[in-house]
Structure formats: C-alpha cells, structure tokens
C-alpha cells in the first residue's frame, strides 16, 4: 500500500513547503485540500479548518499548481479533499475538472448531515445527488468518494454501504476512516471492509480518544496521536489485508501532538511498522 498525506493536517506549511517535507519524510503522495479560505481568517494563526496555509483554491490556476508541485516533488495525487454539499452539482463538477487538471483520480463529496429532517428524507436527497454525481464521474473519469464520518448520515461502513450500493463502484466509492468511526459509527473493521467490498476505495488514518468531564458525565471525543487513542490499528490493517486492500493510506492527523514536520516522520514510521511488519 502507498502512503500519502492530506494537506489539511499541515496548516502551517505552504503547498510548496508541504510537498518538499512530504517527499523528504518518505511518503508516496499528497492529497490536496481544495477549498476557499475566507478572507476574514487569513490574519489568524494557522489552523486545520481556519487559516489553513496548505489549502488550494478551487480554480484552474491552483489545479495546475497542484499538478506542477506534485510532479516536481515526485509525488502522486491519490485524491482531493474537496467540500461538496449534497445537491451542489456545480461544485461537484468543478471539483472533477480540478481533479482532471491536477491529475487526481478521485474527489470527496458530501452525503449530508442530520438537520431535523427524517433519515429517509436525508437518504433520498443524498441518493438523488449521487445519481447525478455518478454521471459526472463517468463523463470526467473521476471517482466520487463518500467519507465515513461522524455527524453525517453515513458514520459507519454499513450506512455508507446502504448509500452507495445502488451505484457503479467504478464511479462512486467510500473512504474508510477509523478515527471518525471511533467518535460515531464504530463497527468491526473486518465486517465493514468485507461489506464495502468494491466500494472501499480509500483509507484515512487518524485517531480519537475521549475525555471525562470534571465530576463525570458524558465523555467528550477529541483527536489523538495515532499511537495513543481508541483505534486499534493492528485490527484495522488486519481487516484491510483480509479483503486484499492495496490502495492508498492517507494521513489526516488532527491531534496537534507534534509539530508538522515531526508529525510527518513519526506517523509514517508508525504506519510502516504495521504495513511492512
């Protein structure tokens, strides 16, 4: 399996700095965060979802920049971390055009989140959206991926499978994310990987833990270093091996436990200890 880095986890590095550090650390690829950073946060300290310096704008110019930087560093682009809401076909197509220019085979699209409507209403809206996205995927030759994510309608492998199973797995797939599943949607990794079958297209690597409030009560989730959290990566990699998964593992570490450059080296060593073990 090849290992890459999602640039959302490198908020204090510019894209130019990031590809250099990713390559020097020994990774195979870079998954670009593609989004518009609001002007009103650009004066803030770098952060994952605020003033993230390692974000490319969804423009033709930055798509060419993504390809150039990746190729110059000798890095593949396994996918794009795009932010496409349910029903937003215009942004979905823009993301796919960006992917074609950048040389990325797949992009992430949203599945929707609980908002007061019934689950069946949300599911129907997501299904209708993915039907249109499937056609865009065929047209552009770019696969659309739904991420297993807490606080969405597909926090588990089984719910993600229910959503995508009506579609062509060459056009629509799933991102397995054990770190998200630790916060909501945990299922046995092997069962989940078997169920997803050909829809298992990508894997994000991060970890979560829980904090007990002072005096007790409902424990709150937080992001954690790969080696110190709820996720048992031994079981994760056993499950991936069991189903013959041989595609990308992409780092998405939000713990802030180490500086970015140190995090890159540490996390690759951690994953390689399982993959090469």
pTM of the model: 0.97
Structure-token match 């690829």, residue found: 29
Q: Is the pLDDT of residue 276 over 80?
A: no
Is it the case that residue 277 has pLDDT exceeding 90? no
Assess whether pLDDT exceeds 80 at residue 173.
yes
Tally of domains in the chain: 1
Bridge-based pairing of strands 55-56 and 80-82 is unpaired
> What CATH number is given to the structural domain containing 168?
3.20.20.150
For helices 157-164 and 189-196, what crossing angle results, to 10°?
A: 10
Q: Across residues 212-219, what is the average pLDDT?
A: 96
Domain encompassing residue 67: 3-275
pLDDT at 33: 98
48 has pLDDT over 80: yes
**E strands, 52-206, where?**
55-56, 80-82, 106-109, 143-147, 172-176, 200-205
> What's the rounded Cα separation, in Å, for the pair 193 and 169?
14
- For residues 259 and 267, the answer to whether their CB atoms sit within 8 Å is no
CA 30, CA 78: separation in Å to the nearest integer? Answer: 7
Mean pLDDT over the full length of the chain? 97
Query: What's the average model confidence in pLDDT over 168-192?
Result: 98
CB 221 within 8 A of CB 246: no
For 49-80, the pLDDT digits (tens) are: 999 999 999 999 999 999 999 999 999 999 99
Give the closest residue to 249 by CA, choosing from 233, 227, 231, 261: 233
């Amino acid at each position: 399996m090849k290992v890459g880095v999602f640039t959302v986890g490198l908020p204090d590095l510019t894209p130019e700095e990031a590809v250099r550090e990713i390559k020097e650390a020994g990774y195979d690829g870079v998954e670009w965060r593609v989004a518009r950073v609001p002007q009103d946060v650009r004066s803030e300290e770098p952060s994952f979802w605020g003033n993230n310096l390692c974000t490319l704008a969804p423009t033709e110019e930055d798509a060419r920049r993504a390809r150039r930087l990746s190729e110059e560093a000798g890095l593949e682009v396994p996918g794009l971390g795009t932010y496409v809401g349910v029903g937003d076909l215009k942004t979905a197509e823009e993301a796919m055009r960006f992917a074609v220019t950048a040389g990325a085979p797949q992009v992430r699209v949203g599945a929707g989140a609980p908002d007061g409507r019934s689950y069946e209403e949300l599911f129907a809206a997501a299904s209708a959206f993915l039907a249109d996205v499937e056609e865009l995927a065929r047209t552009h030759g770019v696969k659309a991926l739904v991420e297993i994510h807490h606080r969405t309608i597909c926090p588990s492998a089984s719910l993600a499978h229910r959503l995508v199973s009506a579609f062509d797995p060459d056009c629509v797939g799933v991102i397995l994310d054990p770190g998200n599943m630790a916060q909501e949607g945990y299922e046995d990794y092997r069962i989940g990987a078997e169920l997803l079958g050909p829809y298992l297209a990508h894997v994000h690597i991060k970890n979560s833990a829980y904090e007990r409030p002072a005096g007790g009560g409902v424990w709150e989730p937080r992001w954690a270093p790969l080696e110190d959290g709820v996720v048992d990566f031994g079981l994760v990699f056993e499950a991936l091996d069991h189903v013959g998964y041989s595609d990308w593992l992409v780092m998405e570490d939000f713990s802030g436990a180490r500086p970015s450059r140190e995090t890159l080296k540490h996390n690759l060593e951690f994953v390689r200890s399982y993959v090469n073990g």
